[in-house]
Each structure stands twice: as structure tokens, then as C-alpha cells.
């Protein structure tokens, strides 16, 4: 099954870096996307806010270690515009609320 998304958006919360118990670095950020799309011959205003996670070597085009993750987090400030390519996955909060998260396989500042 195909699960691929490319999205451009603006960073709206300061990026943060965490490490899993296995030592894998994770870069977390939240982006807003705004655009106008055509649907049924009509212009439609689109807006969404989504959490983005890039993880260690799995995000090889993003960074390969925790230093690389921190370096990228330092480059991305609130207001930075990024392009993210990756896949969507469902995450559940500790309170049981489900949300979609974009797992970045490529991330670049534009």
C-alpha cells in the first residue's frame, strides 16, 4: 500500500530533540500548511497543522545522529518554511487521543 506525503509548511513551535531508550535521536516539530487547491472546479482554501517526527538513521536524508538532529533543530526556528516528504502514521497520546503524525524521510528548509 502506498503511504507517501510531500508537504510544505511553516514551523509554528520550537523544534525539540529527544532520544529513545535505544539511543535513537528524534526531531519533533509542528508545521502549518496553507494553500489554495482546486476541487470540483472551485478554489478551496486549505489549512492544516501537523506534527512531524524525523528519526535517526531512518531519516538518513535528514540527519544520522543526535548531533545532526540538534544541529537541524537549531537551524529551524518558528517561522522557518520547510518541505517534508515522508509517510503518515497514527499516534496515540497517553490519554488515548489518536492523531496523525508525518514521519519525515526527507526534510529541507526552503
Q: pLDDT of 23-64, one tens digit each?
A: 888 999 999 999 999 999 999 999 999 999 998 755 555 665
Give 84's pLDDT tier (boundaries 50, 70, 90). very high
Whole-prediction pTM value?
0.86
pLDDT of residue 38: 96
Query: For the segment 87-108, what is each residue's pLDDT rounded down to a tens digit?
Result: 999 999 889 999 999 999 999 8
Q: Is 33 exposed, middle or buried (0-12, 13-18, 19+ CB in 10 A)?
A: middle
Q: Given this model, what pLDDT does residue 24 score?
A: 84
User: Where along the chain do its domains lie?
Assistant: 5-109
Res 59: pLDDT: 52
Spatial CA neighbour of 104 closest among 2, 4, 12, 1: 4
CATH 3.10.450.50 for domain 5-109 = no
β pairing state of 42-55 and 98-109: parallel
User: What is the pLDDT averaged over residues 66-80?
Assistant: 84
Q: What is the pLDDT of residue 73?
A: 84
Report the C-alpha gap between 35 and 10 in whole angstroms. Answer: 12
Amino acid at each position: 500500500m502506498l503511504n507517501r506525503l510531500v508537504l510544505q509548511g511553516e514551523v509554528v513551535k520550537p523544534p525539540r530533540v529527544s532520544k529513545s531508550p535505544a539511543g535513537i535521536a528524534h526531531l519533533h516539530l509542528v508545521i502549518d500548511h496553507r494553500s489554495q487547491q482546486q476541487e470540483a472546479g472551485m478554489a478551496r482554501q486549505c489549512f492544516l497543522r501537523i506534527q512531524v517526527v524525523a528519526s535517526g538513521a531512518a531519516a538518513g536524508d535528514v540527519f544520522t545522529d543526535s548531533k545532526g538532529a540538534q544541529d537541524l533543530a537549531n537551524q529551524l526556528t518558528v517561522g522557518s518554511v520547510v518541505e517534508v516528504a515522508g509517510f503518515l502514521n497514527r499516534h496515540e497520546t497517553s490519554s488515548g487521543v489518536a492523531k496523525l503524525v508525518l514521519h519525515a524521510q526527507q526534510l529541507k528548509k526552503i
